[in-house]
Amino acid sequence: MNASSLRIGIAGAGAIGCTLAARLAGNGHTVNVLARGETLTTIRRDGIHLSDLDGHHHVRVEASDDAASLGEQDLIFLCTKAQALASLLPQLQPMIGAETVVIPVINGVPWWYFHGEGGRYDGQRVNAVDPQSTLHQALDLRHVIGCVVFITAHCPANAVAESNTPHLMIFGEPDNRLSPRLERVRALIESVGIEARATDRIRDNLWTKIIANLTSNPLSVITGATLDQLYSLPELRDLVSSCLHEALLTAAAYGARVSIDPRTFLELGAGMGAVRTSMLQDYEKGRPLELAAIGDAVLELADGMAIPMPVTRHLIALARFRGEQARH
């Protein structure tokens, strides 16, 4: 994987996909975007626009709704909602070669969570996110490098992304090796102006992001509150704190070390400002909610360790009810 001649595929042209496409293409890399509908039309006509802390970026990329026309890629970023993967991965086969690296940039518990884990659960499937083994069957997991993305961005229009916070991406092999390909991916992302780290404990970082999503997204759908409200208003913070402690116990049961203590976690959340969660934005637009990966999968893992999560369970149920009502 030679960084100077990489073919980089991005599947999904939402806020994160457009941010990566703009940064990579803007630094001279060949970027091929798999998109559809009005977003595809906009990319072909106007390119991709990104406004972030480093200014405005405008790039032209190859875009198509046909994976075969884009051809085999060296590196593919999966930038869709978790629930879209079951239909997306089988379509991606023409883009995946023998040495293609696939990086899921998704929220929640990933379907590959137990792959290469090495413990008693090694190879176990997370039913909430891959109930029919569709994802396991569609992609040989040797292609996968894990990723945790801390990029807060939104799309005010098709193929236009805006972000007012620093970008951070953390990468790790599922089997925790510090491999040469892992370092190449980290160096590539760092070279385009995104802070990038490689770790030999990717699940620790995954749980930090999982808990951030779990403590904010469902409750935001129920209340309509922004992050600063969720993590600072006493009437909401108590619920968030209960959910946080339940999730930390589950993470610890699976051997994860979350480096942020609960009080600091709440302070950091409040410091994010008046940000509307991605799940709240989906709810307001009548879109499906990412509750399977963000919520149900965590409950499944907790059940596997006989850990009760009563507050979290109720929050997920209420958010699901709200989401279903909004779509009917």
- Global pTM reads 0.94
Instruction: Answer yes or no: do 155 and 284 share one domain.
Output: no
Q: Which residues are CB-neighbours of 9 under 8 A, at least 6 positions away?
A: 31, 32, 33, 34, 70, 73, 75, 76, 77, 95
DSSP letter string, 252-276: HHTT----S-HHHHHHHHHTT-SPP
**Catalytic machinery residues:** 209
Domain co-membership, 43 together with 142: yes
- pLDDT tens track for 52-69: 999 999 999 999 999 999
φ/ψ of residue 130, rounded to 5 = -145, 65
pLDDT, tens digit, 9 for 90 and up, residues 243-281 = 999 999 999 999 999 989 999 999 999 998 998 999 999
Its domain, for residue 238, covers: 204-326
CATH number at residue 151: 3.40.50.720
**Based on the domain organization, do 133 and 21 belong to the same domain?**
yes
241 and 166, same structural domain?
no
Task: Report residue 4's pLDDT band, with 50, 70 and 90 as the boundaries.
Answer: low
Mean pLDDT of 220-244: 97
Question: Residues 33, 43: contact at Cβ < 8 Å?
Answer: yes
Residues 35 and 175 in one domain: yes
- Predicted confidence band of residue 327 (pLDDT cuts 50, 70, 90): confident
Could you tell me if 172 and 227 lie in one domain?
no
189: its two tokens: 């992302």
Which of 185, 200, 215 finishes a domain?
Answer: 200
- The answer on 159 and 61 residing in a single domain is yes
Q: Tokens at residue 182, please? A: 């892992």
- Distances from the Cα of 141 to the Cαs of 71, 105, 121, in angstroms? 20, 15, 16
pLDDT tier for residue 118 given thresholds of 50, 70 and 90? confident
Output the six-digit token pair for 221.
Answer: 């759908």
Please indicate, yes or no, whether residues 48 and 147 belong to a single structural domain of this protein.
yes
Q: Which amino acid is at 114?
A: F
**What is residue 5's predicted lDDT score, i.e. its pLDDT?**
83
* 230 and 292 co-located in one domain: yes
Q: Is the pLDDT of residue 75 over 80?
A: yes
Which residues are 8's β-sheet partners? 31, 75
CATH number of the structural domain spanning residue 279? 1.10.1040.10
CA 324/CA 203 separation, integer angstroms: 31
138 and 7 belong to one structural domain: yes
For residues 229-237, give the mean pLDDT.
96
- Among 200, 233, 253, the domain-final residue is 200
